[in-house]
Amino acid sequence: MPNAIREARPLGASLDLLGRKYYLRTFGCQMNEHDSERMAGMLEAEGYSRTDSPEDASVVLFNTCCIRENADDKLYGNLGHMKPLKEARPGMKIVVGGCLAQKDREGIQRRAPFVDVVLGTHNLASLPRLLRESDIAPSFEILEQTEVFPSALPARRSSPWHAWVSISIGCNNACTFCIVPAVRGAEVSRRVGDIVHEVEGLVRDGVIEVTLLGQNVNSYGRDLDGTPLFSKLLFALDEVEGLERVRFMSPHPKDFRSDSVEAMAACRSVCEHIHLPVQSGSERILKLMKRAYSRERYLEKIAMVRAAISGIAITTDIIVGFPGETEEDFQATLALVHEVRYDAAYTFQYSPRPGTAAAELPEHLPKKVVQDRYERLSAVQDGISRECNEALVGTVQELLIEGISKKDPGRLTGRTRSNKV
């Protein structure tokens, strides 16, 4: 197989002695959730059934993330718990897939030599084959480019009415803090017709809401026809009868264009919510991050979308403690948060990732400083989010029921079109 790294070692009893059950745990983003649905679908097509307990499983899978350092810790902590269980049940298979596997096959082999199968982000389709091969010799296989587009694989959907739909994989940006291009590869888009065909099939199966996934949805299609096709895709999906809601994540501010805003405003199915990651409110830090937009340009895009879509909810991602961030830089971020008034913000403490340009920058901040800024930012945003939610008291909202509340089993939980839970 071209561009593959493979390795094998001896293994004992067959998993069939334990029955064909699998346990799957997912770390990380929505793209990983989507990939896990495909992994589950392939296993169930092979005759496996799902269990919520690793103790009952013949195959235990971890679909990994490598965006932040704690993602590594979570994986190895879980693998540590699995080691005595596997020793007691020699027929059990342990599988590690996803971004950390793509990035650090050697580390997994060194720190958890009892793992049976390792596969990366580009070869999900290999999972059934690797499991069969590991009856004789466990397989570690990493590809450098996508073997089969994930959406061509069977899926076990986690919801009967909502579905993740991948429109592209990979990323062509070069943000200095981000490891994604290294583990997901260059951007590859699906054809509009293929996506529409998948969504039509989902709707026939009862799905009424889809979330379009891509590392940068607004550059979708550029690798196909030389120009972004995202607005064209939104209009095409809006014609699918029975599809009530369309969401997407995540756009990159530098590629978020007026034609996308016009499509969002015109399409009845596109929800009144956008997640537009800013990462920092400091002009200087944005340049160090290589985000390719200015603070002023970002605010212009916020104004553009609010002018076109009344009442739209806006959420974002923000990193605090980026190398070299001063108190003045942080105050610029706080000022931007006050100005935009996000409905919600996913705030993160900067975590250096080996292999990224930011990890090599000087002036990494003390953890105490980063934690302090994180807490101050969270307090500001929590107050704004509360005010945004309180402004909706007394209004009537369309709610898609998602299930029983985890906090109160006597209640149902759902999501508004503006992504309020």
CA angle 212, 188, 195 (to 5 degrees): 40
Residue 168: φ, ψ to 5°: -160, 160
Q: Which CATH fold topology does 21-141 show?
A: Rossmann fold (3.40.50)
Domain layout of the chain by residue ranges: 21-141, 150-394
- pLDDT band of residue 4 (cuts 50, 70, 90) is very low
* pLDDT tens sequence across 67-83: 877 778 889 999 999 99
* pLDDT tens sequence across 27-43: 988 889 999 999 999 99
At residue 13, the pLDDT reads: 40
C-alpha to C-alpha distance for 101 and 141, rounded to whole angstroms: 9
For residue 247, count CB atoms less than 10 angstroms from its CB and return exposed for 0-12, middle for 13-18, buried for 19 or more.
Answer: buried
* pLDDT tens sequence across 237-275: 999 999 999 999 989 999 999 999 999 999 999 999 999
* pLDDT tens sequence across 337-366: 999 999 999 999 999 988 899 999 999 999
In this structure, what token pair is assigned to residue 149? 């587009």
At residue 207, the pLDDT reads: 97
Q: Which CATH fold topology does 150-394 show?
A: pyruvate-formate lyase- activating enzyme (3.80.30)
* pLDDT tens sequence across 195-239: 999 999 999 999 999 999 999 999 999 999 888 899 999 999 999
Amino acid at position 249, single letter: M
Contact at 8 Å (CB) between 177 and 322? yes
- pLDDT band of residue 16 (cuts 50, 70, 90) is low
At residue 29, the pLDDT reads: 87
At residue 259, the pLDDT reads: 96
Write out the H or E segment, with its range, that includes residue 252.
none
From the list 290, 320, 10, 280, the residue with the least C-alpha distance to 135 is: 10
At residue 380, the pLDDT reads: 99
